[in-house]
Amino acid sequence: MDLSLSTETMGDRTIVRVGGEIDVYTAPKLREQLVELVNDGSFHLVVDMEGVDFLDSTGLGVLVGGLKRVRAHEGSLRLVCNQERILKIFRITGLTKVFPIHTSVEEAVAATD
Amino acid sequence: MATVELRFSALPEHVRTARLVAAAVARRAGVDEAVLDEVRLAVGEACTRAVGLHQNGGIPAPVKVLLIEEEKQFSIEVGDEAPHAVPGGPGDGPGDADVEIEEDEMGLAVISGLVDDVEVSAGENGGSIRMRWPLTPPVTLPA
């Protein structure tokens, strides 16, 4: 399965819905999407990972890169994920302390800090 | 001992194939269903690392994956042919490849977090990551 990406704006937040597999082959597409959004002035991103079937360290690297970019503009990058097998990778790498992880897009959009 | 060997050109698009093959062979060998996600992720990380090493080093050789079913364990060995810097030797130290090194370390961190039994070896002629998982003993029905 390939990677699917779509975006939607909710107030000052931009929702990036990701589906499929994020790995060494597909991660560059996600990186391009995040870079493009930041370059276009979207600094508060919510990455919805509910449709993600697979995530590896390359994908984690892209998300960390996205976080660095939005923070350079005092922005934010929040994740939405309820899947244990995906959450496990964030725990193993200690990235649960770096990313705010929410259970729904609505919760992520409503969150401030 | 049953062994499946897979060789693929060091291209990112083939890593998914390696993951699928590894998971299929692991399932057939009797690796617990609950662990298959970890097998898939770990072998993907090891192959991604090998692909990166080959691409960065301009190495045309394929990446090699050995899937070995033994009596009580299932092993996966991912081999690369990239010359690894010997600590303290030439080429060891900070350089332009810092970003690649960071990603490489993240991949290894994921593997060590997932797999209890893992060996990473590296030499001047290449390196390998060997990972082992115990096999679930077959259920025997009482006579």
All domains of chain B in start order, with CATH: 2-134 (3.30.565.10)
**Mean pLDDT score across all residues of chain A:** 96
- Residues A23-66: tens digit of each pLDDT: 999 999 999 999 999 999 999 999 999 999 999 999 999 999 99
pLDDT at B139: 66
- Contacts A24 to B, Cβ<8 Å: 12, 15, 44, 48, 51-52
- Residues B7-58: tens digit of each pLDDT: 999 999 999 999 999 999 999 999 998 899 999 999 999 999 999 999 999 9
What is the pLDDT averaged over residues A9-17?
Answer: 96
pLDDT at B132: 97
pLDDT at B106: 85
- Contacts B44 to A, Cβ<8 Å: 23-24, 54, 56
**How far is it, in rounded angstroms, from Cα A21 to Cα A85?**
13
**DSSP structure class, residue B47:** H
**How far is it, in rounded angstroms, from Cα A25 to Cα A21?**
9
Cβ-based interface (< 8 Å): residues of A facing B = 21, 23-25, 54, 56-58, 60-61, 85, 89, 92-93
**How far is it, in rounded angstroms, from Cα B6 to Cα A5?**
31
On whether the CB atoms of residues B68 and B77 are closer than 8 A, the answer is: yes
**Number of alpha carbons in the 13 Å side-chain half-sphere of residue A48:** 20
Give the chain B residue nearest A1 (alpha carbons). Answer: B16
Contact state of B110 with A92 under an 8 Å Cβ cutoff: yes
Mutate to test the interface with A, among B45, B51, B115 (most CBs of A within 10 A): B45
- Residues B85-127: tens digit of each pLDDT: 665 555 444 444 555 556 678 899 899 999 999 999 998 889 9
pLDDT at B89: 53
Q: b/e map of A95-108 (b: 16 or more CB within 10 Å)?
A: beeebebbeebeeb
Q: Which CATH architecture has domain A1-107?
A: 2-Layer Sandwich (3.30)
Share above pLDDT 70 across residues of chain A, in percent, rounded to a whole number: 98
On whether the CB atoms of residues A14 and A37 are closer than 8 A, the answer is: yes
Q: First vs last Cα of chain B: how many Å apart?
A: 29
Among A25, A61, A85, beta carbon nearest to B16? A25
Whether the model clears a pTM of 0.90, i.e. scores above it, the answer is: no
Residue B71 neighbours by CB distance under 10 Å: 6
Beta-carbon contacts of residue B109 (< 8 Å; ≥ 6 apart): A57, A92, A93
Contact state of A24 with B15 under an 8 Å Cβ cutoff: yes
| Rg, chain A, Cα only | 13
- Of A59-63, B74-78, B137-141, minimum mean pLDDT range: B137-141
- Contacts B109 to A, Cβ<8 Å: 57, 92-93
Among B48, B109, B114, beta carbon nearest to A58? B48
pLDDT at B96: 47
Confidence of residue B1 (pLDDT cuts 50, 70, 90): low
Confidence of residue B136 (pLDDT cuts 50, 70, 90): confident
Q: Shortest Cα distance from A82 to chain B (angstroms)? A: 16
Strands A76-80 and B2-8: unpaired
Q: Which residue spans within chain B are E strands per DSSP?
A: 2-8, 63-69, 73-80, 117-123, 126-134
pLDDT at B34: 87
Q: b/e map of B77-86 (b: 16 or more CB within 10 Å)?
A: bbbbbbbbee
Residue ranges covered by each domain of chain A: 1-107
- At B71, list the tokens: 């009596």
Res. A3: pLDDT tops 90 = yes
**How far is it, in rounded angstroms, from Cα B50 to Cα B128?**
9
ipTM of the complex: 0.89
- Of A6-20, B1-15, B127-141, minimum mean pLDDT range: B127-141
Contact state of B102 with A60 under an 8 Å Cβ cutoff: no
